[in-house]
Amino acid sequence: MTQGGEAMGRDETGRVIFVPHAIADETVIVEIVEQKKNFARARLIEIITPSPARVAPRCPHFGARRGGVTPPQQSCGGCQWQHIAYPAQLQFKTEIVREQFARIGKLPDAPVRDTSGMSEPWQYRNHVQFQLNADGQLCLRALESHDLVPIRECHIIHPLLDEIFRALDFAEADFASVTLRAGTRTGQKMVILEGRDDDPPEIEIDEPVSIAYQVPSGETVALIGQTALEEKLGERVFRVSPVSFFQVNTEMAERLIELVARYLAPRADDVLLDAFGGVGTFGLTLAPRVARVIAIEENPRAIEDARTNASDLSNVEFHIGAVENVLPQIDAHITLAVADPPRAGFAPRALDALIAHAPRALAYVSCDPATLARDARKLVDAGYRLIETQPVDLFPHTYHIETVSLFVREKE
Question: CA–CA separation, 369 vs 372, rounded Å?
Answer: 5
Phi-psi region of 276 (alpha: psi -120 to 50; beta: other; left: phi over 0): left
Please give the Cα distance from 166 to 131 (Å, whole number).
15
Cα separation, 68 vs 65, in Å, equals: 6
Catalytic residue numbers, as ranges: 367
Which is nearest to 272 in space by CA: 339, 322, 355?
Answer: 339
Starting at the earlier edge strand, list the strands of the sheet with 27-35.
Answer: 7-10, 16-19, 39-49, 27-35
**β partners of residue 337:** 273, 362
- List Cα–Cα distances, 129 to 21, 163, 239, 242, 247, in angstroms: 23, 15, 19, 12, 14
Cα separation, 248 vs 230, whole angstroms: 13
Whether the CB-CB separation of 194 and 220 falls below 8 Å is answered with: no
**R_g of the chain, CA atoms, integer Å:** 22
Distance between CA 192 and CA 215 in Å, rounded? Answer: 11
- Of 263, 381, 274, nearest to 330 by C-alpha is 274
Task: In whole angstroms, give the CA distance from residue 121 to residue 374.
Answer: 30
Q: Check if the beta carbon of residue 62 is closer than 8 Å to that of residue 140.
A: no
Cite the beta strand spans of 157-225 per DSSP E. 177-182, 189-194, 210-214, 220-224
What length is written for the chain? 412
β-pair type (64-65, 127-132)? unpaired
Residue 151, CA distances (Å) to 74, 134, 154, 178 in order:
10, 14, 7, 13
